[in-house]
């Protein structure tokens, strides 16, 4: 672990020796935030909120580009292969970023060596949502009725390695309830099918689920977080409800291609941390059901390494190899 963790410190230190002059002019043209998920989802929305604030602070345009496919793998591969100049950045899920290489016999990208960590930027709060008129009203009833259904229950998910994918596998492990994943390209699509009863459950962010719950189109049975969410104090966490034995990581961050000069990494990190102190940004992020969280590049690098090891073990235990 120490040997792997040292990769990031070596990469970050090496960056100090390169590109210093270029960093003085950075950014001199538009920056692209690459998001591996569809427009309108929680990651996309929050990337755009940060992009708007940072763009205003630095006086330079930031474009949010959605590159969907392969559960975020196409976006990660694109950024890994981009020029290490600070103009192409990946907005990534710590869980999904680690999952794809761990699950593939021929990994699309190297989750550790292919990237330079910059900063965390938010943690996701999701809920286990079911159709409002679903016959089950409690977790116990949902599990009992689900086991009687041929093939178990259907779960709307962005794809392999996403938090819902892991939640489904962890629920099966803890309860014996078969969970069949149905893949969708965007949040709006699986929420439409959830509220119409075409699928049995989903894990939308609280911000997405809130309006559906208010309109009595969806019901929250549990919160996918380490602690109960203040907006839903009577709804238990997945662990409290004994639906899972442990919680996978729900943090998201920003990374650059490996070899990005350290002065540029520091500048981007500085801007993310500055934006995270903006009261309006915090209000907007919180309203989507997320919690703002930033870090140093080193802290994020250590978290990526530990998450890589944890997810690799989960993939083996839950038999999630592709």
State the pLDDT at residue 12: 53
Nearest 10 degrees: Cα torsion 57, 64, 188, 320: -110
CATH of the domain at 195: 3.40.190.10
| CB-count burial class (<10 Å; 0-12, 13-18, 19+) for 319 | exposed
pLDDT tens-digit readout, 88-131: 999 999 999 999 999 999 999 999 999 999 999 999 889 999 99
Q: What is the pLDDT of residue 258?
A: 98
Q: Is 197 helix (H, G, I), strand (E, B) or coil?
A: coil
Longest dimension (CA), the chain: 66
In this structure, is residue 99 part of a structural domain? yes
Whether 69 and 134 map to the same domain: the answer is no
- String of DSSP letters for 208-226: HHHHHHHTTSEEEEEEESS
Looking at the structure, do residues 73 and 179 belong to the same domain, yes or no?
Answer: no
Q: Give the whole-angstrom CA distance, residue 66 versus residue 131.
A: 29
How is residue 263 written in tokens?
């002065």
Please, are residues 272 and 254 in contact by the beta-carbon 8 Å criterion?
Answer: yes
Q: Kindly state whether residues 113 and 144 are assigned to the same domain.
A: no
What CATH number does the domain containing 60 carry?
A: 3.40.190.150
CB 158 within 8 A of CB 183: yes
- Using only C-alpha atoms, the chain has a radius of gyration, in whole angstroms, of 20
**Which residues are CB-neighbours of 240 under 8 A, at least 6 positions away?**
222, 228
Q: Is the pTM higher than 0.85? A: no
From CA 62, how far away is CA 13, in angstroms rounded? 27
Residue 322 lies in a domain: no
Statement to judge: residues 137 and 201 lie in one domain: yes
Do 147 and 46 lie in one domain? The reply is no
C-alpha atoms less than 13 angstroms from C-alpha of 160 in its C-beta half-sphere: 16
Residues constituting the chain? 322
Q: Tell me: do 101 and 19 sit in the same domain.
A: yes
Does residue 111 lie in a domain region?
yes
Q: 225 to each of 150, 192, 201, 245, 265, how far by Cα in Å?
A: 30, 24, 17, 13, 30
DSSP structural state of residue 132: T
Q: What is the pLDDT at residue 13?
A: 52
Residues 76 and 152 placed together within one structural domain of the fold: no
How far is it, in rounded angstroms, from Cα 220 to Cα 59? 41
Q: How far is CA 193 from the centre of its chain?
A: 22
Handedness of CA 153, 158, 159, 161 (dihedral sign): negative
What number of other Cβ atoms are within 10 A of residue 63's Cβ? Answer: 12
Asked if the structure places residue 235 within a domain, the reply is no
The answer to whether position 236 is within a domain reads no
Q: Which domain holds residue 256?
A: 2-124+250-317
- The structure tokens listed for 257 are 């291609």
Sequence-distant (6+) residues with CB within 8 A of 287 are 207
Same domain flag for 108 and 20: yes
Say whether both 101 and 162 belong to one domain: no
Query: Nearest 5°: CA angle at 89, between 273 and 94?
Result: 75
Same domain, 87 and 49: yes
Our count of domains for the chain comes to 2
Flag residues of the chain having pLDDT under 70.
1-23
């Amino acid at each position: 672990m120490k040997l792997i963790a040292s990769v990031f410190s070596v990469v970050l230190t090496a960056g100090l020796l390169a590109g210093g002059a270029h960093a003085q002019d950075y950014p001199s043209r538009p920056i692209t935030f690459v998001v591996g998920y569809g427009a309108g989802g929680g990651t996309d929305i929050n990337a755009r909120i940060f992009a708007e604030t940072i763009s205003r602070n630095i006086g330079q345009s930031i474009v949010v580009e959605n590159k969907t496919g392969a559960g975020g793998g196409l976006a990660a591969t694109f950024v890994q292969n981009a020029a290490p100049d600070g103009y192409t950045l990946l907005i990534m899920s710590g869980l999904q970023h680690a999952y794809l290489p761990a699950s593939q016999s021929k990994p699309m990208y190297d989750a550790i060596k292919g990237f330079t960590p910059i900063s965390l930027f938010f943690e996701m709060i999701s809920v286990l949502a079911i159709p409002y008129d679903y016959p089950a009203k409690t977790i116990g009833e949902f599990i009992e009725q689900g086991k009687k259904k041929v093939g178990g229950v259907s779960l709307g998910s962005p794809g392999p390695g996403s938090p819902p994918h892991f939640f489904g596998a962890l629920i099966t492990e803890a309860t014996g309830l078969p969970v069949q994943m149905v893949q969708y390209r965007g949040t709006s699509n699986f929420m439409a099918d959830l509220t119409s009863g075409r699928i049995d459950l989903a894990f939308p962010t609280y911000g997405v689920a809130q309006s559906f719950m208010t309109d009595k189109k969806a019901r929250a049975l549990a919160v996918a977080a380490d602690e109960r969410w203040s907006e839903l104090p009577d709804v238990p966490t997945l662990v409290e409800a004994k639906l899972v034995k442990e919680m996978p990581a729900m943090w998201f961050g920003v990374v650059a291609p490996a070899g990005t000069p350290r002065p540029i990494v520091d500048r981007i990190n500085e801007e993310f941390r500055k934006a995270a102190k903006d009261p309006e940004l915090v209000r907007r992020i919180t309203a989507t059901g997320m919690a703002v969280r930033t870090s140093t590049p080193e802290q994020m690098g250590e978290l990526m390494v530990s998450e890589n090891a944890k997810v690799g073990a989960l993939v083996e235990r839950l038999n999630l190899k592709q």
